[in-house]
Structure 1
Amino acid sequence: MIPMTHAQTQPATPVIPLPPRAAHLTTLTGATLTLATTFLAWTWTTTFPGNLTINGYPGGLQTITLTGATLTLLYATTALAPPRLQRLLAPAGTTPPTLLLALGTFAATWYTLAAITLDLGGLVNLEPGGYAAGAASLLTLTGALALPNTAPTTTETTRRTPWQRLRHSLTPGPPPPPPRTLPTWAETLTIAAAFALGLLLLTYGIDTDYGELFTGYLILTATGLAALHRAGLTTRLNHLTTKHRTTTLTAAFTAAACFPLTQTNDTYTNLATSILVFATVALGLNVVVGLAGLLDLGYVAFLGVGAYTAALVSGSPESALHARFPFWAAVLTGIAASLLFGILIGAPTLRLRGDYLAIVTLGFGEIFRITMTNLNGKTGPDITNGAMGIPNIPELNILGFNFGTTHHLLGIPIGRFGNYYLLMLLATLTVVLVFRRATDSRTGRAWIAIREDETAATAMGINAFRLKLLAFALGAALAGLAGTIHAHVITTATPDQYQFAGTVPPNSAFLLAAVILGGMGTITGPLLGAALLYLIPSKLDFMQDYQLLLFGLALILLMRFRPEGLVVDRRKQLEFHEPETPTAKAPTP
């Protein structure tokens, strides 16, 4: 008979020594009180944004605390519910998601109290409701830390510090049991509901009016998504999306197309259009970096080639060519020009590897910017107007549809940026389909083999140089496609828009950080990474001057705690997180 180890014979003891029933009661009581305090005034003056002075009506950051407390109460109650309901809402266990939601509610609440204190000048500006909210959220977190683990593993220790408990909640746990097979229509409705919820969540974040509300939104969203992952719901959703890939792609782009219908003006639609442009370019860079493993530090130059080509042939009065191509011809010209530059740059340089290739591509990006500046009629031919660029690019007019005027759909006005948003969405769909087909093809598998070990791939008969050049050219063409539309959106093309690093995207550092942060080799990863990296500095003005510093800090933390990126590629996850094989303990005589 094999004796059981100490970790297997004794259950994990929470860091706060409370009986399980008392821990659940404390969590439930704290979450209920936190929810109730959102209906009280937290400050006495409307100077703080959001108007937190009204009793009986939550406003501003109080709605963030209200949402977090409601979700915490839901999962704390689920732990006491019948097993069938637990398997539905938390198939991987209720304790980690409850703890993460309690942590998010606590962080959002105390951040609000700290912001009121700092913005208004002292604790005297807090009303009793604010103090009650801080105490109730602390009580909720205390009870959550004392909850017993509902998903036991063989690696539990007998006692955990608060940091170990929180880190355990963030660490991926055992996979949830397989769900019951649902009818096809039910799985389709589940996928549609998930993307509809994602649209509402993204719309709320983009529509936030001030930085404090956006910060609270980020805090609760990050902890809430982590809680859903630890509950096992995102794992089950991933299984459904993998099973119904076409349905998932259709639902995703249908939800994205509905975004302009949720806006009443172009203020936030302009922001969403810029996010979509840079997310599309990041997905094109993902072909080069994520699939083929080529470190390209000058990729933004291909975006500039497409933009300048479109500016020269689209009828701008400042264009040296004085040409007016239809849109489809301008797009094809921009793609062809970027493709040609990709081949010309890649042919002599792709025999290099690693840091040498990175330095050469960095040099190409700087040469492109300097060349566009010097083609001003003084230091070179008069083609690009130098630093002034090519302004006054006319609005698109496709089959009589003028993108510069407001149109109505279902009685809802869609302005200029809404029109270009939908056009850019079609370009994004094209890039996604190209990336998906390339990944699943024989060429895509060869790219992945080159990325993992070029020497071994060459020994197996793969023509590494030809395939790397193909990846470089394809990535350049996709960037050129986005560049042609981007030039019409901003109606100008100037050299300072296409740098390696800068405070305003697009730049190569921004695009590379988006790919690494989101997850190399995935479709949704670069889209998510670009959205986060563009949206956060846009909403938090103080971060714009420290953008590069924060990019570097985010990458350091990501490499330490989640090197595979936010969106997990299965191959990368197995590479960075090798499964631990517990060693058998010698039997005691």
Structure 2
Amino acid sequence: MTSQQSQQHGTAVDTTPVIPLPLGTARVLTAAGAALTVLSTFLSWTWTDAFPGNLTVTGYPGGLQLLTLTGALLTLVHLLAAWGIRGLRMLDPAGGHGGTVWTAAGTFAATWYTLIAIAVQLGGLANLEPGGWVAGAAALLTLTGALALPLDRRATATGTARGRLAAVRDIMRTLHPGRTGRPLPPARPLPGWAEILLIAAAFGISLGVLTYGIGTRYGELFTGFLFLTGFCAAGLHQAGLTTRLAELTARHRNVTVAAAFVAAALFPLTQDTDEYTLIIVNILIFATVALGLNVVVGLAGLLDLGYVAFLGVGAYTAALVSGSTASTLHVRFPFWAAVLTGAAASLVFGVVIGAPTLRLRGDYLAIVTLGFGEIFRLAVGNLDGQSGPSVTNGPNGIPNIPDLELFGYNFGDKHSVGGIALSPFANYYLLMLLFTVIVVLVFSRAGNSRIGRAWIAIREDETAATAMGINAFRLKLLAFALGATLAGLAGTVQAHVAHTVVPEQYVFAGPVPPNSAFLLAAVILGGMGTITGPLLGAALLYLIPAKLQFLQDYQLLAFGAALILLMRFRPEGIIPNRRQQLEFHEDTAAKAEA
């Protein structure tokens, strides 16, 4: 037999290695390549410090060399764990070499991206020092050896050409849970305190990785970071570590929630300037609005293309009642009243817009909601006292929105709490983090309730749900109103963080999120109907344009290409809902059974 087939959930996975080499030779080749890659990072890769990160120093890795060093070390760790080395075996519960393959690919991608960037920016391959050539060859050697390793330890190391092509296809499919081979063996029982420490360590490492990524000082480093973290995350999944962590978090839900909140709250303490804290504040605003849209799209299945208008309603309402010198109402509500007013205004607009339109379905509903979004933008642009009543100052918007103040605590001032200095954006970050927690709790409770199950039934088949006695219109209107309220809640904070609101912030598609297109993409790319999916999707869609300035002119092109690739290879999203994942790959499972 030339390949090993394993079954899980009725799906066959071919574990034939891509490159036919004996198992021992493949392991030695991978280990030698990874070790040589580590050594190459201590050599100079270029002769000039004109390339960011100063890769001219011998004996001290810097910049993008650190990413290559990290990837090579992780490849060695995964290889030794899959090899069965005592003390490392627990790092490869899946019992194969999938983690090694993915981390080797990540090391190769980060290394070769660096070398290509050096050649392009400095004007040719002549700008590479011998260390760069060694790094490129070593990374290629590592990947070659890894591709000769079987994904299943029980698989043979040789195969036919047809089997090897199938293995390439299966490597691309390994990120789908339920398609990665046999189930994980039972985990070794650990004391409760040890499991809690592992959960805390996982969130601590995640905080460190996030802090490093957000704090990257130039676009080349951030791009290399994306390459490495993306492939390494796939390697952790393929090795079974994410499954093990999910089992631990399921057993200690309260500890997990507390650890996640503490790790998120510690983020401002890792920053010495407001530059990156402001980015993460905007990410939280974007993510909170995406979660509200997830109620409408992910749970109820209503395609809303004008959702950003509800964010604008909340922002404009808060700007009008928060004491801005440009406000036409000339009132100043306290913080809690401004928040409730903004959320209530968005709720009213959600009901007013939803009541006459939610009897439509599919494309017709999408067109109507798109029209509402454009009507809102044009309306606030014309309420300037000339084209219409004097309410919003028209295209000039409402500037000079004062900072929030709660119980005498001004969010625009620096404060010291328990000896810890908090900058203005750190204050807003903690406030927005609290709002995000509230929205997550609302979404979780709503999704798991009787109403949430009714929303899912409507999403799957509205006709069948109606036949079973579900009042589809009333429940769709409830979902629309809840989603609008959550968007308005985030809009009240956005207005105070930006200190101004203008109509151009609330368009269907534009270069700067949040807008309706990016919000919808965050939900779809992250994973509809989940909590972590839209959070991750919103973070990526906001962070990548913010860090990669050279993509500003090609942002929509890159965005479209990413959508096409993800919809082709992972239509259920990065963090999928289990039910939808099975639906998307129903045909593949049927073919495998046949």
Residue 150 (structure 2) pairs with residue 142 (structure 1): no
Whether the 8 Å contact between 1:72 and 1:102 is mirrored in structure 2 is yes
Rounded to whole Å, the distance in 2 between the matches of 1:584 and 1:63 is: 45
Deviation of 1:581 after TM superposition, in Å, equals: 5.7
Rounded to whole Å, the distance in 2 between the matches of 1:163 and 1:501 is: 40
Which residue type is aligned with residue 285 of structure 1?
L
Whether the 8 Å contact between 1:513 and 1:551 is mirrored in structure 2 is no
Deviation of 1:210 after TM superposition, in Å, equals: 0.3
1:214-229 → structure 2 map (5 Å cutoff) = 214-229=222-237
Deviation of 1:197 after TM superposition, in Å, equals: 1.0
1:341-356 → structure 2 map (5 Å cutoff) = 341-356=349-364
Judged with a 3 Å threshold, the aligned counterparts in structure 2 of structure 1 residues 464 and 20 are, in CA distance, closer, same or farther, namely same
Judged with a 3 Å threshold, the aligned counterparts in structure 2 of structure 1 residues 456 and 584 are, in CA distance, closer, same or farther, namely closer
Picking from 129, 132, 136, the partner of 2:131 is 129
Moved more, 488-497 or 234-243: 234-243
Rounded to whole Å, the distance in 1 between the matches of 2:171 and 2:16 is: 15
Rounded to whole Å, the distance in 1 between the matches of 2:505 and 2:593 is: 59
Picking from 339, 357, 379, the partner of 2:387 is 379
User: 1:529-581 CA deviation, whole Å, 9 max, x = no partner?
Assistant: 00000101111112222323322222222221111100121111111123736
Who is 1:393 aligned against?
Answer: 401
Rounded to whole Å, the distance in 1 between the matches of 2:126 and 2:350 is: 62
Who is 1:76 aligned against?
Answer: 79
1:463-482 → structure 2 map (5 Å cutoff) = 463-482=471-490
Deviation of 1:366 after TM superposition, in Å, equals: 0.3
Whether the 8 Å contact between 2:527 and 2:575 is mirrored in structure 1 is yes
Which residue type is aligned with residue 546 of structure 1?
Y
SS at match of 1:580: helix
Moved more, 11-20 or 135-144: 11-20
Judged with a 3 Å threshold, the aligned counterparts in structure 2 of structure 1 residues 78 and 545 are, in CA distance, closer, same or farther, namely same
Rounded to whole Å, the distance in 2 between the matches of 1:229 and 1:50 is: 31
Residue 95 (structure 2) pairs with residue 93 (structure 1): yes
Moved more, 552-561 or 373-382: 552-561
Residue 68 (structure 2) pairs with residue 60 (structure 1): no
Residue 305 (structure 2) pairs with residue 303 (structure 1): no
Give 4+ residue runs of structure 1 displaced > 3 Å after superposition: 4-9, 11-15, 82-85, 151-154, 156-167, 409-412, 581-585
Judged with a 3 Å threshold, the aligned counterparts in structure 2 of structure 1 residues 111 and 565 are, in CA distance, closer, same or farther, namely same
Which residue type is aligned with residue 390 of structure 1?
I
Picking from 222, 237, 246, the partner of 2:245 is 237
SS at match of 1:213: helix
Rounded to whole Å, the distance in 2 between the matches of 1:535 and 1:407 is: 27
Who is 1:19 aligned against?
Answer: 22
Who is 1:431 aligned against?
Answer: 439
Deviation of 1:15 after TM superposition, in Å, equals: 3.7
Moved more, 181-190 or 21-30: 181-190
Deviation of 1:22 after TM superposition, in Å, equals: 1.2
Whether the 8 Å contact between 1:169 and 1:230 is mirrored in structure 2 is no
SS at match of 2:364: helix
Who is 2:589 aligned against?
Answer: 580
Who is 1:118 aligned against?
Answer: 120
Deviation of 1:200 after TM superposition, in Å, equals: 0.7
Which residue type is aligned with residue 21 of structure 2?
L
Rounded to whole Å, the distance in 1 between the matches of 2:288 and 2:458 is: 24
Q: CA RMSD in A?
A: 2.1
SS at match of 1:365: helix
Rounded to whole Å, the distance in 2 between the matches of 1:583 and 1:282 is: 36
Deviation of 1:164 after TM superposition, in Å, equals: 4.4
Residue 414 (structure 2) pairs with residue 403 (structure 1): no
With normalisation by structure 2, the TM-score equals: 0.94
Deviation of 1:166 after TM superposition, in Å, equals: 4.1
Rounded to whole Å, the distance in 1 between the matches of 2:294 and 2:329 is: 33
SS at match of 2:421: strand
Who is 2:11 aligned against?
Answer: none
Picking from 238, 250, 255, the partner of 2:263 is 255
Who is 1:442 aligned against?
Answer: 450
Whether the 8 Å contact between 1:264 and 1:413 is mirrored in structure 2 is no
Residue 106 (structure 2) pairs with residue 104 (structure 1): yes
Picking from 346, 349, 367, the partner of 2:375 is 367
Whether the 8 Å contact between 1:316 and 1:391 is mirrored in structure 2 is yes
Judged with a 3 Å threshold, the aligned counterparts in structure 2 of structure 1 residues 452 and 157 are, in CA distance, closer, same or farther, namely farther
Unaligned runs of 5+ in 2: 7-13, 175-179
Which residue type is aligned with residue 398 of structure 1?
L
SS at match of 2:416: strand
Judged with a 3 Å threshold, the aligned counterparts in structure 2 of structure 1 residues 12 and 491 are, in CA distance, closer, same or farther, namely closer
Rounded to whole Å, the distance in 1 between the matches of 2:97 and 2:530 is: 30
Deviation of 1:158 after TM superposition, in Å, equals: 4.1
Deviation of 1:190 after TM superposition, in Å, equals: 1.8
1:445-460 → structure 2 map (5 Å cutoff) = 445-460=453-468
Deviation of 1:148 after TM superposition, in Å, equals: 3.2
User: 1:118-138 CA deviation, whole Å, 9 max, x = no partner?
Assistant: 111111211111111111111
Whether the 8 Å contact between 1:13 and 1:159 is mirrored in structure 2 is no
Residue 564 (structure 2) pairs with residue 561 (structure 1): no
Which residue type is aligned with residue 417 of structure 1?
F
Whether the 8 Å contact between 1:61 and 1:112 is mirrored in structure 2 is yes
Rounded to whole Å, the distance in 2 between the matches of 1:337 and 1:506 is: 20
Judged with a 3 Å threshold, the aligned counterparts in structure 2 of structure 1 residues 85 and 120 are, in CA distance, closer, same or farther, namely closer
Rounded to whole Å, the distance in 1 between the matches of 2:112 and 2:164 is: 18
Identical-residue share of aligned pairs (%): 68
Rounded to whole Å, the distance in 1 between the matches of 2:442 and 2:480 is: 14
Picking from 507, 521, 527, the partner of 1:513 is 521
User: 1:362-397 CA deviation, whole Å, 9 max, x = no partner?
Assistant: 000000000000000001011100000010011111
Whether the 8 Å contact between 1:30 and 1:139 is mirrored in structure 2 is yes
Residue 39 (structure 2) pairs with residue 32 (structure 1): no
Judged with a 3 Å threshold, the aligned counterparts in structure 2 of structure 1 residues 535 and 12 are, in CA distance, closer, same or farther, namely closer
Residue 192 (structure 2) pairs with residue 184 (structure 1): yes
Whether the 8 Å contact between 1:397 and 1:403 is mirrored in structure 2 is yes
Whether the 8 Å contact between 1:145 and 1:162 is mirrored in structure 2 is no
With normalisation by structure 1, the TM-score equals: 0.94
User: 1:243-286 CA deviation, whole Å, 9 max, x = no partner?
Assistant: 33332222212111100000001011011111111011000100
Whether the 8 Å contact between 1:75 and 1:98 is mirrored in structure 2 is yes
Whether the 8 Å contact between 2:321 and 2:329 is mirrored in structure 1 is yes
1:207-218 → structure 2 map (5 Å cutoff) = 207-218=215-226
Rounded to whole Å, the distance in 2 between the matches of 1:527 and 1:473 is: 21
Picking from 290, 311, 331, the partner of 1:323 is 331
Unaligned runs of 5+ in 1: none
Who is 1:538 aligned against?
Answer: 546
SS at match of 2:83: coil
Rounded to whole Å, the distance in 1 between the matches of 2:5 and 2:332 is: 75
Moved more, 242-251 or 205-214: 242-251
Judged with a 3 Å threshold, the aligned counterparts in structure 2 of structure 1 residues 170 and 234 are, in CA distance, closer, same or farther, namely farther
SS at match of 1:79: helix
